[in-house]
Amino acid sequence: MAATRDQDAFTALFDHFAPRLKSWLMKRGMNSDEAEELVQDVMTILWHRASLYDPARSSLSTWLFRVARNRHIDAKRRARNRKFDGQETFLALAEVPGVDTLFESKERDERVRDALSQIPDEQMKLVRAAFFLGQSHSEIAASTGLPLGTVKSRIRLAFERLRRALEETSPN
């Protein structure tokens, strides 16, 4: 496999060793997802560094389990050495916005709501589906029975109308 990059040979090795490595790692305290991830790492090493394997020094299974053991030890060290330093981003206090910022945000929100209210219903329904429900244009076309081109043009027209309405009410 190392010399010819034989994918069939790699597949056979993967099918043979991956379940054994996963089971071995789970017996050492890893959950199924962690073990699978580490097995993927070990098998990637096998694929990329197969030329480093020396059959005169050990069997292939010994080599793979040694790689797995070393990766497992590294993962445990990383988890143990991750110390709490009080600087975690989720602990940072959110900056309190000033009154002027809150006022500007409120004004902007009102302008957007007013502009959205000016968009015709048939366009607004499509905008809601695309941006609030996360549907693709094709999904919207299928669910509404409208041609794909119609969906796209109505959404484009809605945004053009929204842009014009916001430009007209802009304080600048």
pLDDT of 103-157, one tens digit each?
777 888 888 888 888 889 999 999 888 888 888 999 899 999 999 999 999 999 9
C-alpha 157/C-alpha 172 separation (Å) is 24
165 and 104 part of one domain: yes
- Would 65 be classed as within a structural domain? yes
Q: pTM, whole model, 2 decimals?
A: 0.46
CB atoms within 10 A of CB 80: 8
φ, ψ (nearest 5 deg) of residue 85: -115, 5
The count of domains in the chain is: 2
Can you give the C-alpha Rg of the chain in angstroms? 29
Residues 75 and 112 in one domain: no
Question: How sure is the predictor about 20, in pLDDT bands with cuts at 50, 70 and 90?
Answer: very high
Domain end residue (candidates: 81, 107, 124): 81
- Assign residue 130 the CATH number of its domain: 1.10.10.10
Residue 30 lies in a domain: yes
Both structure tokens of 157: 């027209």
Mark 5-22 as b/e (b = at least 16 C-beta within 10 Å). Answer: eeeeebeebbeebbeebb
- Residue 60, domain extent: 7-81
Structural domain includes residue 93: no
Q: Which helix (H) or strand (E) holds 95?
A: none
